[in-house]
Chains A and B, each alone.
Chain A
């Protein structure tokens, strides 16, 4: 029981330690992927969520096993937070048979349907109506699960966002929309693309609650998501949460980041690092010592190294699978 921190009821001290580890896992995973892309060791493209670990980990922390998520092109963090195995994720990026998609999906299409991850998505805003459909199943079959729908600030300007959120609202569906506002849709600053200060304000247009939250504060993320998930589970309908955050890396692998300043980047890295902030809280609350924190960080780093070994030693898919699974 945690008395000196405000957290949702299911969040134990052990869970907090696990989340601290999970955020490191997300960071090291994407930093490793960044390194491999730079070295040309993996091909295609990728979108990294370094700096955004708290919104993924915090939001998924309050979910039950049966709950579902839809994710985005910047989705490695969501996958890990929903319980994906980093070995199979890394293998997918290496295009191996042991990857989540047998090497057919790559970075933008990792899904783990059995674990309730309905997939990352290469189309901006593409997953939002799908999340609404998943919520519809929950309601029609009375299954009681909630669907968390991740998307970015850029997606909030897509028609699919407005159509889907309105549909979810009028049908009162158990879905929670989480807009990870990382300040840029590729190179487009949110301030130039949206004329309101908060994307969460758009909730008013659909008659549902909207909340702005510090997306780099995992505690705030857990609390606001918990409240929205409870509402959804109780049949009170959807909520729109806007998590203000920042991606440390460029949009994808080829990005000179001409659209923003190094000062701005340093401000977010040095003063708003979600992992450093959580660590501070855990130390102050006496939940972790410096040594334990260092041990957890090292463990996460080691797990990613092992994921790389797993991926590298996994077989390539056989050509025989090329035409498999186009149809069920």
Chain B
């Protein structure tokens, strides 16, 4: 199978949907001839024209709100928010409008929209362009939250998101854009709410999201050399969360480390850890659940500090060993 990048997979999912469904369109800042801040929409305005690839003013509230209104009246908008940090400016429209409209109206109307946005640190863009704020969105009933970690998952989950009748927040990790993976050329859809076991193992489960999936897989290779068999579970979607797959894995291994880039305090890892503790897997645990997350600091500029602010491969290795060798 051919290999393409995560970024190309995102673009391909959008283009394939736009070719078959005239209701699908995209709007956002600099997504026209510029091709988007990260180049995700490059070439799209040339194919689909400015009516369907709508370059907007720098107005996140209006972009998100216009998507809500367009979705309510029959379109299926995709919004690109240039950096996920800028969701703050669009939050009313996402949290108070998109998420609640259907419920507030007693089940009438629907808001089929996708808000795609790059998140995460590692680019040296510092505190206002590097956050991982997915727990905020995961907290809001009415939203679905997706965090693909591979090109294959990105394409299949984005198609599913566009086809979904609900508002979906789709987090793309900036450092994953250039990673490559095997991706079928034809359109395909992955179920929203189905975790993926990225590596099978028997001694310990690592539940990792987004870029931490890759760090966990690297850690697993190192740990294998020391005779520790690691299973890596990628939830892929936080809402809905496939807790069954996570629980089944923990029941098998008896040990679990949950890791994400987002600040640990109040991070989604706390939710995953709690669900494991509340589940039947509790009786199978041979060690306390471990959580790894970002330090409670704004992401700093200096690359050494920036790296130290979030879990790295070695942190995962250490946490796994502490879990495995705990008596």
Chain A interfacial positions (CB closer than 8 Å to B): 68, 70, 99-105, 109, 111, 113-114, 118-119, 121-123, 126, 128-138, 140-141, 147, 159-160, 163-164, 166-167, 170-171, 324-328
Q: How far is the CB of A115 from chain B (nearest CB, A)?
A: 11
Contacting pair B105 A113 (CB below 8 A): yes
Q: Are A327 and B68 in contact, with the CB atoms below 8 A?
A: no
Q: Closest A-chain residue to B25, C-beta based?
A: A140
Contact yes or no, B142 A160, CB < 8 A: no
Whether the Cβ atoms of A129 and B142 lie closer than 8 Å is no
- Are A167 and B59 neighbours in the complex by a CB distance under 8 Å? yes
Q: Across the interface, name the chain B residue whose C-beta is closest to A317.
A: B106
Q: Which residues of B contact A101 (CB under 8 A)?
A: 104-106, 108
The reply to whether A109 and B104 contact each other, CB–CB distance below 8 Å, is: yes
Set of chain B residues within 8 Å of A164, measured between Cβ atoms: 59, 61-62, 65-66
Which residues of B are interface residues toward A (Cβ below 8 A)? 23, 25, 51-52, 54, 56-57, 59-75, 77, 89, 92-93, 96-97, 101-112, 141-142, 144, 165-166
Tell whether, in the assembled complex, residue A128 and residue B106 are in contact, meaning their CB atoms are under 8 Å apart: no
- Measured CB to CB, the closest approach of chain A to B64, in angstroms, equals 7
Give Cα A126–Cα B95 distance, bound, in whole angstroms.
Answer: 11
In the assembled complex, the Cα of A170 lies from the Cα of B142 at a distance in Å of 31
* Other contacts beyond A99-B106, A129-B66, A134-B73: 16, CB < 8 A: A105-B106, A111-B105, A119-B109, A121-B97, A126-B97, A132-B69, A133-B65, A133-B70, A140-B52, A141-B75, A160-B93, A164-B59, A167-B62, A170-B57, A326-B142, A327-B142
Q: Which of A100, A129, A141, A324 contacts B65 (CB 8 A)?
A: A129
Q: Identify the closest chain B residue to A160 (Cβ).
A: B61
Q: Are B57 and A126 in contact, CB atoms less than 8 angstroms apart?
A: no
CB distance from B97 to the nearest CB of A (A): 6
- Bound state CA distance, A118 and B109, in angstroms? 9
Q: Bound state CA distance, A104 and B93, in angstroms? A: 19
Q: Are B65 and A325 in contact (CB under 8 A)?
A: no
| Number of cross-chain contacts by CB at 8 Å | 153
A104–B106 contact, CB under 8 A? yes
Q: Which residues of B contact A105 (CB under 8 A)?
A: 104-106
- Indicate if the CB atoms of A160 and B107 lie closer than 8 Å: no
**CA gap between A171 and B59 in the complex, in Å:** 13
Q: Nearest 7 pairs between A and B by C-beta?
A: A129-B65, A133-B69, A101-B106, A163-B62, A325-B107, A163-B59, A102-B106
Most buried by A among B54, B97, B102, B111: B97
Q: Can you name 7 A-B residue pairings with CB atoms under 8 Å?
A: A113-B105, A114-B108, A132-B65, A133-B72, A141-B75, A167-B62, A325-B103
B57 adjacent to A166 (CB under 8 Å): yes
Instruction: Provide the bound-state CA to CA distance between A137 and B101, in Å.
Output: 18
Cβ contacts under 8 Å, A325 to chain B: 102-103, 106-107
Closest chain-A Cβ to B193's Cβ sits at a distance in Å of 11
* Cβ–Cβ contact A118 & B72, under 8 A: yes
Task: Determine the residue in chain A with the shortest Cβ distance to B109.
Answer: A113
Kindly report which residue of chain B lies nearest to residue A68, judged by CB atoms.
Answer: B73
**Set of chain A residues within 8 Å of B64, measured between Cβ atoms:** 129
Return chain A residues, CB-CB under 8 Å to B108.
Answer: 101, 111, 113-114
Q: How far is the CA of A123 from the CA of B92 in the complex (A)?
A: 8
The answer to whether A123 touches B96 (Cβ under 8 A) is yes
In the bound complex, CA of A74 to CA of B41 (Å): 41
Hey, which chain B residues are within 8 Å of A166, CB to CB? 57, 59, 62
| A167-B56 CB under 8 A given contacts A68-B73, A123-B96, A133-B71 | yes
